[in-house]
Structure 1
Amino acid sequence: MTHVDRTTATYASDDVSTDRRERTAQYALLPLRLFLGVTFVYAGLDKLFDSAFLSATGTGSIGELMSSVRNTSAVPALVDMALKSPEGFGYAMAFGELAVGLGTLLGLLARPAALGGALISLSLWLTVSWQTEPYYYGNDLAYLIAWLPLVLAGASVFSLDAAVAERRRRSR
């Protein structure tokens, strides 16, 4: 019969458990990153290919939407800026969502992309969905909160940021 040192066996078990937790933690934000990335790419493309949305007036246009929320938004000055050039604002929103979504999916400048997503969501919450009652029916606040972990943590796996960091680390 072989004697097993219980202390060593416990530490080995703790090391395996710690490694597993660390690996799991690295992948924990991946589903959120995929969801937000795909959603923002889709939202950007949907706006770019919707000629009605990119119009100053008419049913379904960005101009009509901004006009309809002007008096109920938390920051009417933000809506007034958009109304100065509704088409330009529509394109800026679409390309912004597309850039944020692609940056998030690729993990390219992941933290700035997530910050951009958070700012887009914040602006939409303060303008378009501000009047939604009860507040939890409006999805823009939930998107804003969903972006925050990615702002803080970035993209640690399956990302161009991680590949660049690894390459820099190896070249030292």
Structure 2
Amino acid sequence: MIRRSFGTLRGLVRLAFSYPQLMFGLSASQRPDPARVNRLVFVCQGNICRSAFAEVAARRAGLRTASFGLSTTTGRAAHPPAIAAARLLGHDLSVHSAIDLTDHVPEDGDLLLAMEVRQLHRLSADPRLQGLPRMLLGHWTRPMMPHLHDPYGLDDDYMAQCLRRIDGAIGRLAISFPGARLS
């Protein structure tokens, strides 16, 4: 149950700690003015599973989007198990090319959407990004899951579960930020 739903015991513990961090304002979130958001930028560690999938799913939903990893190699392909799980959900990750934080070009109107609280803290410390609004993508999952544990190297069931959660959040993001819709 833990492996399939949360990836690892560490994933469950990090999820449990993320709720009070949000409740007590310790997450480094910075809420956007929804009327000013015109691009959704998904962020994770390697940009080969979670944020890569979120970008593809959001683009398919007609949203203006980008993604990057906090610690990756630009040009790296998506993780093969993520490609397979995405395909089962009707999305194609086979042509994804990772972008590292240092190669990402921020724009006015960006909303940074991270997978974990610790990623929000990294974003808030970056001088190029600290002025941009940032939130957890898990705010839009149902149920709300402020920690979407990294599926890299974990079993296929958790990879599929993680990507399903992300896929489900995309429609709610589109409703929350209509300015991010492609014309």
TM-score relative to the length of structure 1: 0.26
TM-score relative to the length of structure 2: 0.25
Would you tell me which structure has more strand in proportion to its own residues?
2
- If asked which structure has higher relative contact order (CA below 8 Å, sep 6+), I would say 2
Would you tell me which structure has more helix in proportion to its own residues?
1
